[in-house]
Structure 1
Amino acid sequence: MPDERGRILIVEDDPTTAGTLSQRLRIEGYGVEVATGAIDAAASLERRVPDLLLSDLHLPDGSGEELFLSQRSRLAGVPVLVMTAYAGIDQAIRLMKAGADDFLVKPVETQDLLGRIAALMGRHMVAPDAAALGVSGAIRRVESLLRRAAPSDCPVLLMGETGTGKEVAAKLLHGLSPRSTAPFLAVNCAAIPADLAESEFFGHERGAFTGAATRRHGCAERAGAGTLFLDEVAELSPGLQAKLLRLLEAREYTRVGGSGSLPFHARVVAATNADLDQRVREGLFREDLLYRLDVIRVEIPPLRTRREDIVPLARRFLAGAAPAAARGIRGFDSRAERALEEADWHGNARELRNRVERAAALADGPWIGVDDIFGGAVFTGTTPNDCVPTLAEAVTEAERRAVTAALAAASGEVEVAAGILGVGRSTLFEKIRKLGLRPSNEA
Structure 2
Amino acid sequence: MSLEGRVIGLIEDDPIMGESLVQSLTLEGAYVDWWQSGSEAIRGLKATSPDLVVCDIRLPDTTGDRLFSEIAQTRSAPPFLFMTAFGDIDEAVRLMRAGAGDYVAKPFDLETFMDRARSLIRAWSQVRPEGTLGASEAMKRVEQMLRRVAPLTSPVLLTGETGVGKEVCARFLHGISPRADRPIIAVNCAALPTDLMESELFGHERGAFTGAHAQHKGYAERAGGGMLFLDEIAELPLPLQAKLLRLIEERAFTRVGGERKIPFKARLVCATNCDLHAAVRDGRFRLDLLHRINTVSIEIPALRQRPEDIPTLMELFFDQFSAELNSDVRGFASLTIDAALEHSWPGNVRELRNRVERALALSYGQWIMPTDLFPEQATGRDGETVAPLATLSEAREVAERRQIQRALRESAGRVTRAAELLGISRTTLWEKMRRLGIGSGDEEE
- 1:117-151 residue CA offsets vs partner (Å, 9 max, x unmatched): xxxxxxxxxxx962111000001100100010111
Asked whether the equivalents of residues 363 and 372 of structure 1 are also in contact (C-alpha less than 8 Å), the reply is yes
1:321 is paired with a residue of what secondary structure?
helix
Change (3 A) 1:232 1:289: same
For 1:335, the aligned partner's letter is L
| TM-score normalised by the chain length of structure 2 | 0.57
Q: Within the alignment, does 1:251 sit opposite 2:258 as a pair?
A: no
For 1:371, the aligned partner's letter is T
Q: Within the alignment, does 1:335 sit opposite 2:335 as a pair?
A: yes
Question: Partner residue of 1:181?
Answer: 181
Question: Partner residue of 1:349?
Answer: 349
Change (3 A) 1:195 1:384: farther
Q: Distance in 2 between matches of 1:348 and 1:384?
A: 24
Q: Which sections of structure 2, spanning at least 5 residues, go unmatched? A: 1-127, 378-384, 397-445
Asked whether the equivalents of residues 224 and 265 of structure 1 are also in contact (C-alpha less than 8 Å), the reply is yes
For 1:311, the aligned partner's letter is P
Asked whether the equivalents of residues 279 and 285 of structure 2 are also in contact (C-alpha less than 8 Å), the reply is yes
Identity %: 54
Question: Partner residue of 1:412?
Answer: none
Alignment of 1:288-367 (within 5 A): 288-322=288-322, 326-367=326-367
Change (3 A) 1:136 1:385: same
Change (3 A) 1:270 1:293: same
- 1:60-104 residue CA offsets vs partner (Å, 9 max, x unmatched): xxxxxxxxxxxxxxxxxxxxxxxxxxxxxxxxxxxxxxxxxxxxx
1:324 to partner: Cα distance? 7.2
Q: Within the alignment, does 1:383 sit opposite 2:390 as a pair?
A: yes
Asked whether the equivalents of residues 156 and 268 of structure 1 are also in contact (C-alpha less than 8 Å), the reply is yes
1:322 to partner: Cα distance? 3.9
1:195 to partner: Cα distance? 1.2
Q: Distance in 2 between matches of 1:309 and 1:381?
A: 24
1:380 to partner: Cα distance? 5.2
1:382 to partner: Cα distance? 8.1
Question: Partner residue of 2:442?
Answer: none
Question: Partner residue of 1:373?
Answer: 373
| TM-score normalised by the chain length of structure 1 | 0.57
Question: Partner residue of 1:136?
Answer: 136
Q: Which sections of structure 1, spanning at least 5 residues, go unmatched? A: 1-127, 390-443
1:296 to partner: Cα distance? 0.4
Change (3 A) 1:246 1:336: same
2:308 is paired with a residue of what secondary structure?
helix
1:240 is paired with a residue of what secondary structure?
helix
Asked whether the equivalents of residues 156 and 293 of structure 1 are also in contact (C-alpha less than 8 Å), the reply is yes
Q: Distance in 2 between matches of 1:174 and 1:327?
A: 33
1:381 to partner: Cα distance? 7.6
Asked whether the equivalents of residues 130 and 140 of structure 2 are also in contact (C-alpha less than 8 Å), the reply is no
For 1:257, the aligned partner's letter is G
Question: Partner residue of 1:121?
Answer: none
For 1:305, the aligned partner's letter is Q
Change (3 A) 1:135 1:381: farther
Larger radius of gyration: 1
Q: Distance in 2 between matches of 1:188 and 1:209?
A: 24
Q: Distance in 2 between matches of 1:168 and 1:158?
A: 11
2:140 is paired with a residue of what secondary structure?
helix
Alignment of 1:120-199 (within 5 A): 130-199=130-199
Q: Distance in 2 between matches of 1:244 and 1:326?
A: 45
Asked whether the equivalents of residues 156 and 297 of structure 2 are also in contact (C-alpha less than 8 Å), the reply is yes
For 1:352, the aligned partner's letter is L
1:161 is paired with a residue of what secondary structure?
coil
Question: Partner residue of 1:214?
Answer: 214
1:271 is paired with a residue of what secondary structure?
strand
Q: Distance in 1 between matches of 2:366 and 2:395?
A: 22
Change (3 A) 1:386 1:323: farther
Question: Partner residue of 1:224?
Answer: 224
1:327 to partner: Cα distance? 2.2
Asked whether the equivalents of residues 157 and 296 of structure 1 are also in contact (C-alpha less than 8 Å), the reply is yes
Q: Distance in 1 between matches of 2:324 and 2:369?
A: 14
Question: Partner residue of 1:242?
Answer: 242
Would you identify which runs of 4 or more consecutive aligned residues in structure 1 move more than 2 Å? 322-325, 376-389
For 1:327, the aligned partner's letter is S
Asked whether the equivalents of residues 189 and 231 of structure 1 are also in contact (C-alpha less than 8 Å), the reply is yes
The number of equivalent residue pairs is: 262
Asked whether the equivalents of residues 253 and 264 of structure 1 are also in contact (C-alpha less than 8 Å), the reply is yes
Change (3 A) 1:223 1:384: farther
- 1:264-322 residue CA offsets vs partner (Å, 9 max, x unmatched): 00000000000001111222110100011000000000000100001110110111004
Q: Distance in 2 between matches of 1:195 and 1:171?
A: 28
Asked whether the equivalents of residues 318 and 324 of structure 1 are also in contact (C-alpha less than 8 Å), the reply is no
Q: Distance in 2 between matches of 1:207 and 1:324?
A: 45
Asked whether the equivalents of residues 155 and 296 of structure 2 are also in contact (C-alpha less than 8 Å), the reply is yes
For 1:337, the aligned partner's letter is I
2:228 is paired with a residue of what secondary structure?
strand
1:229 is paired with a residue of what secondary structure?
strand
RMSD, aligned CA: 2.2
1:130 is paired with a residue of what secondary structure?
coil
Change (3 A) 1:256 1:140: same
Asked whether the equivalents of residues 344 and 381 of structure 1 are also in contact (C-alpha less than 8 Å), the reply is no
For 1:383, the aligned partner's letter is A
1:362 to partner: Cα distance? 1.1
1:157 is paired with a residue of what secondary structure?
strand
